Amino acid sequence: MSASVSSAAAASQASVSRAALLPVVLLSAFVGAFVVFGVGFAHSNVLHNAAHDSRHALGFPCH
Furthest CA-CA distance within the chain: 63
Per-residue binding letters, 4-33, with other proteins (x by CB under 8 A): ----------x---x--x--xxx-xx-xxx
Single-letter residue type at 21:
L
**Minimum CB separation from other proteins for residue 5, in Å?**
19
Does residue 36 belong to the site contacting other proteins (CB under 8 A)?
yes
Nearest CB to other proteins, comparing residues 6 and 38? 38
Q: What is the 3-state secondary structure (H, E, C) of 30-46?
A: HHHHHHHHHHHCCCCHH
Distance of closest approach, residue 9 Cβ to other proteins, in angstroms = 14
62 vs 18: CA distance, rounded Å? 37
